[in-house]
Amino acid sequence: MIEFRSVSYAFEDVPVLSDLSLSIDDGEFVVLAGANGSGKTTLLRHCNGLLSPDEGSVLVDGRPVEADLIAARSSVGMVFQHPRDQFVAATVGADIAFGPENLGLPREEIDRRVAVALEAVNMGGRGDDRIATLSGGEQARIAIAGALAMEPTHLVLDEPFTGLDDPARRSVLDRLESLSPEGTGVVLATHDLRDVLEMADRVIAMRDGRIVADEPPERARDGLADVAVRVP
């Protein structure tokens, strides 16, 4: 479970998150919506300690994130908007294997995870490709595969569809949809709600660093128009 308890955060003196409370259960599929600058990325970066609250606390599995960063980062996998910044190896397979290797897993388990993760993003058999030669959309899919290979309890994705063509977007969505019944929670910040709302258990809408709606997708549609998100 991810819990925000009265979290406030400011960049310099500009408040970005204001007294925000939230709890996300294991296995829940949550869509985080909101206009540019509403605070979505800032919120997500608190889930694994990339940012720490000025006030309040963030807990993962009942423990404050900063008390055990490694546990929080094993439990919460993150995929960011600019995957280029996330790669640590020259080839696809080596990059995806990096996280599982750091968990000290046996080689055959690492290889299995890499193969499953590549299939999940429609890039099966591409483990030997050099990352520098991939298109932006392919790199985005490799970043998602890297997070999947960690088999986290929650997968947090910030605008993961930027640069993906429709088949790639569809394959990522299909994989995300199958994660939730398997017990892996998904937190997805996106402006592009096509096909996404019907997968969600919950839609959380943000405005000016506050949660202005938190409800099932069928009730969220009208409210989303108010937070300047295009609703399909």
State the nearest-atom distance from the C-beta of 75 to ligand ATP, in Å. 22
If one asks whether residue 211 binds ligand ATP (CB under 6 A), the answer comes out as no
Q: Is 222 in the site for ligand ATP (CB under 6 A)?
A: no
C-alpha–C-alpha distance, residues 96 and 74, integer Å:
14
Of 10 and 71, CB closest to ligand ATP: 10
Contact status, residue 35 vs residue 209, Cβ threshold 8 Å: no
Q: Give me the least distance between CB of 225 and ligand ATP, in Å please.
A: 17
CB of 41 to ligand ATP, least distance (A): 3
Nearer to ligand ATP, 39 or 93 (CB): 39
Q: For residue 125, state whether it binds ligand ATP (rule: CB under 6 A).
A: no
**Collapsed DSSP state (helix, strand, coil) of residue 38:** coil
Scan residues 33-92 and list those touching ligand ATP (CB under 6 A).
34, 36-42
State the amino acid at position 171 in one-letter form. Answer: S
167 binds ligand ATP (CB under 6 A): no
The string of DSSP codes covering 147-191 is HHTT--SEEEEESTTTT--HHHHHHHHHHHHHHTTTT-EEEEE-S
Residue closer to ligand ATP by CB (options 9, 123) is: 9
CB atoms within 10 A of CB 12: 5
Q: How far is the CB of 124 from ligand ATP (least distance, A)?
A: 31
Pairing of the two strands 202-207 and 185-189:
unpaired
**CB distance 113 to 191 below 8 Å:** no
Closest contact distance (angstroms) between CB of 106 and ligand ATP is 38
- DSSP-derived 3-state class of residue 7: strand
Q: Where do contacts with ligand ATP occur on this chain (CB under 6 A)?
A: 11, 16, 34, 36-42
